Every structure is written in structure tokens, then in C-alpha cells.
Structure 1
Amino acid sequence: MSRALHPGRLSLLLAGLFSALPAFATDLLQVYRYALAYDAQYTAARASAAAGREKQPQALAGLLPTIAATGNTYWNDSTYKGSISALNDSYHNKYNSHSYGVSLTQPLFRWQNFVQYDQSKLLVLQTEANFAQAGQDLILRVAQAYFDVLVAVENLRAVQANKTAIAQQLEQAKKNFEVGIATVTDTYESQSRFDLATAEEIAAENELEVNRYALRVLIGTDPGELNRLKPTAIMAPPQPASMEQWVEAAERDSFVVQAQQAATEAAAKAVEINRADHYPTVDVVASYNQNNGPGQFGVGSIDNTTSQIGLQLNIPIFQGGAVNSKTREAIARRDAEAASLDNAKRSAALSARQSYLGVVNGLAGVRALEAALVSSLSSLESNRLGYEVGVRINIDVLNAENQVYVTRRDLARTRFDTLLAQLRLKAAVGALGEGDLEQINSLFEAP
């Protein structure tokens, strides 16, 4: 007869089962999606975008009618002394009086309101461009933090491998000295290199810890182990292969340029808005009012209703010079925004050139360092063999081991710098998105 499993035992069994499963590393896309929900800088940009989109309905309100309702009630306590016809008397009366009304104003001609509505569309475009740029910046910050951790991991692994090799060399040097086939100098040299490698290991561990914490600040959780770049990963060169085409696209399509272009055009509209304060305005006005209360001296009652509709013209004549001053200020701000637009285009062009060269030169650097690593490993084997047969000294082996470590470290850093340059190049032309991150993510695998 079967027996039911106690809930406590079931929990222990499930815990043991899941603990036995292999842990999955966190990939680049997961980290990015964590950052989308957690990063404070991007959250602030999202809220700013929502606020900026309200500029257009606010400006539209200047073209629509405004309706207002009013009402009041008063308690009256009046005393009258005098004569009415043949009567000499005094009157003292207490009563309520009420009134209410509705008014409507519909602008017919307020040029500044029309221009302000057009300006609001430009301000919304600026807001959207800034938000899109914030999205690109988030991708770059995530990739930078992710790659920094992986570079630190590769650096630590290389330092530890170098330290292990030096420790073996130190042990061999001690044995050779004990049997009299080597001098104590070899032992001192190996010990010196071992102590230096220990110091480098401590520094590498600290760098890894700092970089992991920087990533955690970005995503709000400990990502655990990260996916590593595949040894066979192939990084494609930029397409198109012409740097000038990337530069032209950056000057035209960069979100920074788009935002500044909209800001410049909005500043030009501001000049027109301020000048329009000199222009007359025409509105349709309508009102309805009703007053209720007793008649004069509290005798009888009054129910007075008034309806009005018409046109209202307002012609500004003199406003103390404020309009001219505000117009001059707006012209100066327009010129400043135009200069900022030129600067944005130049900065976008520079960023595109730097990123393009970063990709092209990075790919060349990766190939060169891969070849250098093969050569360094061959040199290390040759020096070890030469040391065994007595044609090489201990310092030659230590130098060869150090060269292998340096080459591995530089190769890892160059690979990640090249990947980041690819993302920066896309960002320079306003084309960086999650799809590009997915493409980069496909070059990684679980460790």
C-alpha cells in the first residue's frame, strides 16, 4: 500500500532536486531587460517624455473656447430712512439675493496661439528624440557594464594562470638550486615574479568586484555568472564599408541632432510668438446672467436675465517696451540654438568617425592579437624547453609567461572594445535598438 509523502519531506526533496540542476548564466538581453525596469536614469527619461508630450494639448487649448460659470448668493441687511410719496417712514429689510452666469470666449484671431500650437509639435518631436536617445544610452551603458565584468573576469583568469605558471617555475627553481644545477638568482627572480603576480591577482579581484557592483547598481539585482564570448565568435565589419556614409547619416539621423533641430525650429517659433504680442486679437464672446432677489427697499421681487453675444477686439498700443525686449531675447536664443545645432552635427560626425575606426581597427587588432597569442604560446614552449636543456635561463621563461598573460588580457579587452564600438556606431546614426543587442548576444554562450 502506498504512503502519502509528508509536505515537509516533499519540500526537502524538491529543494534537493533544484539545487542539483545546473545554474544558468545571465545573458546580455536579460541584463538589458532588468535595466529597462530598474535603471533610475531611464525611468527619469520616460517620465520626462510623458511630461513633454503634454505640450501639444496645452497649446491646442489656446485655439479652443473657454467656458466659465459663476454664481453667488448674498445675505442682505438693509435699512432705509426717508420719505416715499406722502409717507415718511423707515424700512428695514433682510433678504437673500442670488445670481449666476455662464460666459464663453472663442478666439478668432490670436496669431501667437496659432504659432504656439505649431511650436508645441516641435517640442514634442524634441521630447521623443531625447527619449529615443535615452534608450540608446541605456543599451550602451548596459553593454559597457556587462563587458567590463567580462573583461575583469578574463583579466583575473589570466593573472591566476600566470601566477600558477610562475609558482611552478619557482618550485622548479628551488629544486634545481637544491641539486646544484641552478643559482639562487633563479629562485629570487621567480619569487619576485610570484609576489608581483599575487599583488596583480588582488588588484584583479578588486576590479572584478567593483565592476560587478556597477552592473548590479544598473539592474538592481546580482546577475550571477554571465555568458562569455564564444572563442569562435566572428565580428562583422561595418556595412556600408564607407566611413563617409556613416558620417552623413550621423549628421542627419542622430537623435541628438534631431532633438537639437527641433529645438532650433521651436526657438524660431518663439521669436514669432513674441512679435505677435504687437498684433490685435479678435474673440467671440457670449454670456448669460440671471439675478434673483427682492425689489428696491425689499418690496416685490426681481428676476433679471441678460444674454449677450458679440465680437471683442483688443489692440495693443504700448506695453512699456516689454514686447521688443522679449523679441530680442528670443532672437538671441534662436541664434544660440542654431549654433548648438551646428555643434551637435559636428559631434555626431566625430562620434561616427571614432566608432567606425574603432570597429575597423578593433577587428584588425583582434586578428593581430590572436596571431600574437599563438606566437607567445610557441615562444613560451620554446623557452621552457630551452631552460630544461640549459640554453635558456629562468628569467627568459618568466618573461615568456608574462607575455602570454599580457596578450590574453589585451585580446579580451580588444574583443569587447570592438563590440562596444559596433553599438556606438549604430547609436551615432540613431539606429541602435534591441535587435542589435540580440545580434551581439548571439556571440555569447554559457560558460
Structure 2
Amino acid sequence: MSLRFSAGRFSFVLAAVLSAVPACAADLVQVYREALSYDAQYAAARANAEAGREKLPQALAGLLPTIAATGNTFANDASFDTRINSLGINTNTSTRNRFNSNAYNVNLTQPLFRWQNFAQYGQSKLLVMQTEATFAQAGQDLILRVAQAYFDVLVAIENLRAVQANKTAIAQQLEQAKKNFEVGTATITDSYESQSRFDLATAQEIAADNELEVRRYALRVLIGRDPGELSRLKPKAVMEPPQPASMDPWVEAAERDSFVVQAQQAAAEAAGKAVEINRAGHYPTLDVVANYGQNNGPGQSGLGEIDTTTRQVGLQLNIPIFQGGAVNSRTREAIARRDAELATLAKEKRNSALGARQSYLGVVNGLAEIRALEAALVSSLSSLESNRLGYEVGVRINIDVLNAENQVYVTRRDLARARFNTLLAQLKLKAAVGSLAETDLEQINRLFEAP
């Protein structure tokens, strides 16, 4: 018996097998890495960083020699009219001469003392520092935006699940109320109440489904594709409190190490250098200059050719005396801009401190809220069971059961939201002190599992 299997049939079977294997759920780190290469906002920040780094070689050029070369060639047509000779006789003779003349020059200038160039070089280092800090902040912002979008999708999923589960429970209660009314053990009011709750749950389901679609599209904007299934937070995931477990060290670190503060600190120092640069408009400059030139043209009366070569080396001193007050005006402008940058620096330090406080409290209070909601969920489940049993024996009415069921699903939704808010607060706290990195996402990613 021979086995014959065509390539086309093999491809079809292979595709069928692969389609039967469920795709792996995208986790938080995977989504972040896709956003690194796709997100337009981060791409713009990367390009701006590349542009900002060019400030240093541009300023260095002001300390290095400059060389320039010039050249020319001309076709000349000269006429000479002679009317009186040496004896005073009018001869009326004319002479015409056509010739080419060529020349070229090479000039070199090496600054010896130009204080504004030295100051600009120092300023360029500060501007590059500002650029790097701004780019680092953009990287942290990307992590936060990815985490926010990722968590928003998961919260929307949990909200939709809670609404759908509540709707299912209400539908069962509605069916039970109708049966009880038919057999005469309940009033029509129970049916009306259940129907009202069912209609409300249907409207909530539509809104929750729409919210999920919006959140999924927001995540798609970051990574350029539909995210598909996402890893979910483990039910028993344990979140650790911040270390150090005191607010003050976090606040102090934020005022010192935040990338926003670092960028503004560099901007303020660069503005101080700008004052120095403008004041240097009063200072003399000293350069080494060298020149080499060659000129080729006709001799006197157009007879023959003369080649002229010049070589010059020397010092050139330039002393500014009066420029109409422009230097003083630009200096005052630079001082005012420096003061503005210093005020902005103070503002950024305060904002960073405030952000660290808010994030620290978000983590600490979030952990406490999670514990409280976990206890509330246990109580809500117990209350639901008690109300169901009481309804069956006639000591509870239908609205009590509906309220208990709604409370269970609201608590579950709030618990999911509290967990994700706490995780996001942990990331924001790291960002506030300038230490947020991909490793922090990897640590949080361990709390997730495939659905």
C-alpha cells in the first residue's frame, strides 16, 4: 500500500491544524514592545532626540578652524586709446586686447579667543542633557500610556462580564417571578420589578459593550493592530506595598531625579549660559588667520602674463566698541528668560513632589481598598444567598434579591477597577522618581495569566 499525499493537501491540513490551536494571549510586555516600534508619539520623541543631540557638534564647530576657498576666471576685452604722444603730437592710435584672468584664494581662520563660542559649547552640553532627559520621560510616558490602555481594556471586559452576569441573574429571577405569579405565590409587582431591572441591565450591557470597543481601539492606536485576547490578572495576585514604605523618600527622589525636573534643570542652566553668551558681545575676539592666493593676468599694456602668489599668516583682533545698545538689550532679555526657566524649575519640582505623593497614596490606599472590596465581595455573596433563601421561604421579596445580586456584580467590578488602578499607581510612582523601566512591566506581567 503506497501513501500519496500532495503538497496542496498537506498545506490545507497544516492550516486547519494551526487554526485549531488557540492564539496566545498578548501580555503587557508584548504590547509594550509593539508600541515601541509603532507609536507615533514615541517616534516623534525619538526623532526630536536625534535632532537635539546635534547641538553639541554644531557648537564644537565654533572652536575649530574654518577653511574657505574662492576662485574666479574672467574673459577680458580691454581697449586703449592714445591721442597725445610724449612730444605732444596727437596720434589718435587705438589698441585692443583680449585676455583671460584667473585667481583663487584659500583662507583659514582659527579662533583663539571668542568667549561666546566657549559659552555656546558649554550650553550645547546642557541642551543635550535636556534632550536626553526629555526623551527618557517620553519612554516612561509610553510605558504609562500602554499600561493605561491595557488596563482600560481589562476593566471594560470585567465591567461587561459583570453586567452580563447581572442580566442573566435578573432574567432567571424574572422567569421565577412569572412562574410564582402564575401559581399565585407572588404578585404581579415582582414581575414588573424584575422586568424593569432586566431592561435596565440590557441598556447597561449595550453601554458596556460600546465602552469595550472604544478601549480596544485606543489600545490598537498604540500598537497598530487589534490586540486580540489579553492576559488577565490572576484572581489571587498579590500586590506588594511600595519600598521604602514611607512617603518622604519618594517625594525627595521625585524633586531630584524626575526626568521632568532633570530636563528643566538643564534648561535653566542653559538659559544661564545664554546670559553669558550675550554679554560676550562686548568682549574682543582674537583669531589666527592664514591666506594663500594666486592671480594670473596680463602684464602692463597687455604684454605677457604675470602670475602673482600671496601668502599671509597673522593675528586678527576685533574690538567691539558700540553696537547701538543691542548687546545690552539682548543680555537683559536673556536674564529675563533665565529667571523664567528658574521659576518653571521650581514649579516642576513642586509638581513632581505632588505627583509622587498622589501615586504613593494611590498605591497604599489602593491596597487597602482592594482588601476592603475583597471582604465586601464575600459579604455580598453571603447576603445574596441569604436573600435567595429568604425569598424562597417568603421572608424576602423579589426586590431584595435583585438588589443583592446587583451589589455582588457592582462589588466585583469595583474590585477589578481597584486592582488595576493600584497597579497603574505603582508604575506612576516609579515614573515620578525617574526609575520606571521595562523591568517594572515585566514584574507586573508576572501577575497575569492567559485567559
Q: What amino acid does structure 2 have at the position aligned with 1:43?
A: A
Q: How far apart are the structure 2 equivalents of 1:385 and 1:163? A: 20
- 1:433 maps onto 2:437 in alignment: yes
Unaligned runs of 5+ in 1: none
Alignment of 1:64-213 (within 5 A): 64-82=64-82, 89-213=93-217
Question: What corresponds to 1:327 in structure 2?
Answer: 331
Question: What corresponds to 1:258 in structure 2?
Answer: 262
Question: What corresponds to 1:239 in structure 2?
Answer: 243
Question: What corresponds to 1:442 in structure 2?
Answer: 446
- 1:270 maps onto 2:266 in alignment: no
Q: How far apart are the structure 1 equivalents of 2:125 and 2:367? A: 43
Q: How far apart are the structure 2 equivalents of 1:235 and 1:396? A: 35
Question: What corresponds to 2:406 in structure 1?
Answer: 402
Question: What corresponds to 1:32 in structure 2?
Answer: 32
Unaligned runs of 5+ in 2: none
Q: CA deviation at 1:11?
A: 1.5
Stretches (4+) displaced over 3 A: 1-4, 83-89
Q: CA deviation at 1:84?
A: 7.0
Contact 1:292–1:304 at 8 Å: present in 2 too? yes
Q: How far apart are the structure 2 equivalents of 1:102 and 1:389? A: 108
Contact 1:99–1:292 at 8 Å: present in 2 too? yes
Contact 1:290–1:303 at 8 Å: present in 2 too? yes
- 1:376 maps onto 2:380 in alignment: yes
Q: CA deviation at 1:40?
A: 0.5
Contact 1:289–1:307 at 8 Å: present in 2 too? yes
**CA displacement 1:220-258 (0-9 Å, x = unmatched):** 111101000000111000000110000000000000000
Contact 1:59–1:117 at 8 Å: present in 2 too? yes
| Structure 2 CA distance for partners of 1:84 and 1:216, relative to 1, 3 Å | farther
Deviates more, 1:85-94 or 1:426-435: 85-94
**CA displacement 1:360-387 (0-9 Å, x = unmatched):** 0000000000010011001000100010
**CA displacement 1:132-166 (0-9 Å, x = unmatched):** 00000000000000000000000000000000000
Q: What amino acid does structure 1 have at the position aligned with 2:191?
A: T
- The normalised TM-score by structure 2 is 0.98
Q: How far apart are the structure 2 equivalents of 1:363 and 1:239? A: 14
Q: CA deviation at 1:296?
A: 2.5
Q: How far apart are the structure 2 equivalents of 1:329 and 1:51? A: 26
**CA displacement 1:10-53 (0-9 Å, x = unmatched):** 22111111011122100001110111001010000000000000
Q: How far apart are the structure 2 equivalents of 1:325 and 1:22? A: 71
Alignment of 1:329-348 (within 5 A): 329-348=333-352
Q: What amino acid does structure 1 have at the position aligned with 2:364?
A: V
- 1:52 maps onto 2:52 in alignment: yes
Q: CA deviation at 1:261?
A: 0.3
Contact 1:91–1:297 at 8 Å: present in 2 too? no
Q: Secondary structure at the match of 2:109?
A: strand
Q: What amino acid does structure 1 have at the position aligned with 2:69?
A: A
Q: What amino acid does structure 2 have at the position aligned with 1:360?
A: V
Q: How far apart are the structure 2 equivalents of 1:40 and 1:22? A: 31
Contact 1:101–1:288 at 8 Å: present in 2 too? yes
Deviates more, 1:17-26 or 1:380-389: 17-26
Question: What corresponds to 1:224 in structure 2?
Answer: 228
- 2:419 aligned to 415, 419, 423, which one? 415
Deviates more, 1:292-301 or 1:153-162: 292-301
Q: How far apart are the structure 2 equivalents of 1:379 and 1:404? A: 9
Q: How many residues align?
A: 447
> Aligned residues: percent identity?
80
- 1:358 maps onto 2:362 in alignment: yes
Q: CA deviation at 1:89?
A: 3.4
Q: What amino acid does structure 2 have at the position aligned with 1:252?
A: R
- 1:248 aligned to 246, 252, 258, which one? 252
| Structure 2 CA distance for partners of 1:295 and 1:441, relative to 1, 3 Å | same
Q: Secondary structure at the match of 1:104?
A: strand
Q: How far apart are the structure 1 equivalents of 2:219 and 2:266? A: 34
Q: What amino acid does structure 2 have at the position aligned with 1:152?
A: A
Q: Secondary structure at the match of 2:106?
A: strand
- The normalised TM-score by structure 1 is 0.99
Question: What corresponds to 2:290 in structure 1?
Answer: 286
**CA displacement 1:106-152 (0-9 Å, x = unmatched):** 00000000011000000000000000000000000000000000000
Q: How far apart are the structure 2 equivalents of 1:333 and 1:19? A: 63
Q: Secondary structure at the match of 2:15?
A: helix
- 1:317 maps onto 2:321 in alignment: yes
Q: How far apart are the structure 1 equivalents of 2:385 and 2:239? A: 30
**CA displacement 1:400-420 (0-9 Å, x = unmatched):** 000001100100000000000
Question: What corresponds to 2:6 in structure 1?
Answer: 6
| Structure 2 CA distance for partners of 1:156 and 1:89, relative to 1, 3 Å | same
Q: How far apart are the structure 2 equivalents of 1:25 and 1:55? A: 44
Q: How far apart are the structure 1 equivalents of 2:5 and 2:75? A: 82
Q: How far apart are the structure 1 equivalents of 2:113 and 2:4? A: 84
